Structure 1
Amino acid sequence: MVDVEWLVKNATYRPHCYICFTSRSVRFIFSSQQPKPLTNCSSWTLLESLRAKTVNTTDLDNSIMGNLTLFTDKDPEAVYPTQTVVWSIFEETFQAAYGLVTYAPVFKDYFYQGLSQFYMDNVMYLELRAILPEIYDLDGRTYDRAWTLKTCQDISRQFVANHPDFVGVRIIFTAKRLTINTNTMLKVVEEAMKLYRDFPDIMAGFDLVGWEDGGRPLWYYRDALSLPVARGVPLPFFFHCTSITIINQNILDALLFNTSRIGHGFALTRHPVAKEWSRKYGVAVEVCPISNQVLKLVKDLRNHPAAALMSENHPVVISSDDPAIFGAFGLSYDFYEAFVGFGGMRSHVGSLKQLAINSIRYSSLTPEQKEKALSLWQRRWDKFVSENAF
């Protein structure tokens, strides 16, 4: 959510920040005393002490940043030759940052800074996927998902109060498909239903994230995912459907589970019935151009399925997935790639306008909130056009 330079220059310079080194990456933890040893990691070292012994702290900071992003100065095709390789390192970046962003003081500042950076990129409204991790304090005390969601809600309200032209933020609670069995999924969905009931203003719904080809299909969790309907309890779904292998049945199952949007939707063009169904019922496809390139779903964006979907006026929205990990910022980079790569010579200012409108139209906002957001957006759009007219 936040660029890695801020994370390193801000979070890792705070007192009580420890670092240890694995064979592939780094780990962090904040502690008032020497932390307990971590399996497969070197001894914990206080970063403040390590920097005091380091001749060139800039090199050290750059090295740390290198563990938090996939950006490389080398040939990316050589560094990340396959999906398996790039996904493995992609997951490592999350593990490396985990101990930093789950420390309560950093978490609060990190979330506010993330909103600030997207706001600076002229993003007016955010829907974020988050696992809502357990947050910890310096003394080791931990906080549950309800605390995390309440904290996000409080910070969002504070940010809106400070920036009246910002609509707000909502959270899509996620679980990792690679590490969860059916029994645990039942408990997670039950918790998601409770969170959606208790925090309706900020909780948008539920999703499963992670590499689909390395995990289980949606249908494997059908009992848990059918729970909200069986109990008559609302819980919107926003399912990832990335794979183009045999797991592409996820695209069909997502629609059967009444997903509100389809994440990535790379296999949608291979399923004419599903494509027509999603168009008919207004189930937009969330497209992440840079992510799809970096994670090796497509090499040339002109060959991206979204190009065909947009030409057919299928509902499409543009998202940035994990911009900081990809060395990007906000949403503009992905909008640019979509504008140039998907539309080509057919793209014009109206294309950008429609994509921006879609972001609100296919959001989880209520009809009244959408109307208010569109009115606010229209004023800013008119100002943008008048200031850039030739």
Structure 2
Amino acid sequence: MTAIPDPKTALAAARPAERMLLGQVSLAHLVSHVHIMTVPALLPLLPGHFGSSFIEIGVALTLFNLVSLVVQAPMGFVSDRLGARPVLVAGLFVGGLSFIGLALSPGYAMLLVAMAGAGLANGVYHPANYALLARGIDGARMGKAFSIHTFAGYLGTAIAPPLLLGTAALLGVSQAFAVAGLLGLGVGLLTLVSGGNAPVVRPEPRAEAAEAGRPRPPRVRLITGTVIGLMAMYVLLSLSTGGIQSFSASALVMGYGIDLAGANAALTVFLFMSAGGVLAGGALADRTRRHGLVAAAAFLGTSVIAGTMALTQPSAVVATLLLGAAGFLSGIITPSRDMLVRAAAPKGAEGIVFGIVSTGFNIGGLIGPLLYAALLDQGQPRAIFAVAAVFMLLTVTLTLIQDRRARR
């Protein structure tokens, strides 16, 4: 006769397992964002390093996003069927080796190869991470778990410019690429070694026996109007915040008379404040069901700040303060955004739904780098912020539509 587990004992076992799982997934998310920011962080130095133009560097970033776009939804399916943890470990190793290869064999052709490999790795992180969290974290703590996971990613984005630019200043650009690669290999090895020691006990297990005989829903049923709308929201988010993350430092240098150190400091403040906004957004996400309204209000404020940057000539200090405020507001949106996606995902298909929706980032990534790089090559650095503000206003409109649809 099978003993019935004590719910209190299961809960006590689940909490440490949840923390270990969240720590591992968050560390992987940090690495993924360092890798996303590696080329943008070094962007002011890369035309000289590779002997190329900004638009050619933009092509490499577009290739990164194109590969991610192609593989991300299939990786969600693989994560759901074969296990998210081994898929995550593979992504960390592939991303790390891509940048190690670029460090050992510098050149524009190798940059394209490395960006393709890093794009393949990047297609793993969102579906695998969110599948692990959705199945291993109690629903009552999901908002905070999403915010911590997202905070780690934003932290990786924030530390990338000082880490990589500092390494490049001391040792050279190739060594900066090596640092990014070694970080991926190290965390991949850590996740591989510690994975078996982190069993996850769900305090509210699903009725697996009852669901075992039910056929999985065909993938076509996952492509609903809500999912398509959320993917479009991700496209607009990529086009707006991605432009500021990747090109604002160069825009500040070219159009505002701010030196590289000051521009990098302003970008770093934007990124760290974004990470802080994520934590604040996590607290809000657990306290409200109006996730779309929270996200829209925060992004409306961000668009006002971006428009102010485009229309005025702020000093280095004022630009830093404005970008810090914009970063905090843009960070608030992310936990609510993730909760909207989780609500749209059928149980057991979280990985593939997050994979489908996250392709929106890559679709935006196909367009954004070429658009913003062309503006810099044409001597229009202020337009970086103006175009970002327009995309933010479109995001606000779409988010309000999604919120209305969710309430219905």
If the TM-score is normalised by the length of the shorter chain, which range does it land in? Answer: under 0.3
TM-score, normalised relative to structure 1: 0.26
The one of the two structures with greater contact order (alpha-carbon pairs below 8 A, sep at least 6) is: 2
Greater helix proportion = 2
TM-score, normalised relative to structure 2: 0.25
